[in-house]
Structure 1
Amino acid sequence: MNNGKTCLLIDDDIDDQEIFTLVLKSVNPSISCIVAHDGVEAVSRLTSEATLNPDYIFLDLNMPRMDGKECLQEIRKIDRLRQTPVIIYSTSSEQKDIVETQSLGASDYLEKQSSVEDLKRMLAHFFK
């Protein structure tokens, strides 16, 4: 069981943030979800707040200021987060994005779901 785990969602889309956090709560209420609105904010917080040690990081690819691939590279430079699973969470189903993010250190790749039920199934499988 994932007692007291923390998930960091890095996504610039407010609707996607709300849906993700609500569905995650329904799948596993013991996981708390922290949100960063883009890669710049996420990297800044992860480098300056030593107590911010998420157990999982879900990362969108298409964001302003710093895209998901750049953000992933910066996260992988932070020693305490080298073993933290970073899961790409994107609308893109492009094979090149999947291959490239894996080569940059992504642990997994989840395509954003169009329905809440599909997202619930996906997260339930992930956090079983």
Structure 2
Amino acid sequence: MVPSPIADDIRRELGVLAPAERMVAGILLAPYPSAGFETVATIAERAGVSAPTVLRFVTRLGYTGFPDFQAALRKELDERSASLTALALRDRRQRNLRTLHRPPLGAQQHPPHPGPLPDTHRHPVA
């Protein structure tokens, strides 16, 4: 599983958040990270809090504002996507290598040939 530093930060703060901020955290974590791309007003409405509470929450997490928070989410998603792409490419290469070294389906496996068969039929020299 690819790490989610922002979600981890939110979870770490849950114990010290005000009740209204915990509501914002719950809204952001439930469909993480997609909820973070909603507007401040939409998140506030879903959490049942005011827009300033949403802004205080992201400031408490260390962001200069909501656009800064969303930029960090975008960066996290880009990094996650790059990691998953790299893993998928590595897995594909490994599968391809295994396929190259595997006999074709239906091919019979024969023991190695011991060499030329002995000449049991002697033909008279003419």
The TM tier, using the shorter chain, reads: under 0.3
Higher relative contact order (CA 8 A, sep 6+): 1
TM-score with structure 1 length normalisation?
0.25
Higher strand share: 1
Higher helix share: 2
Q: Which has the larger radius of gyration?
A: 2
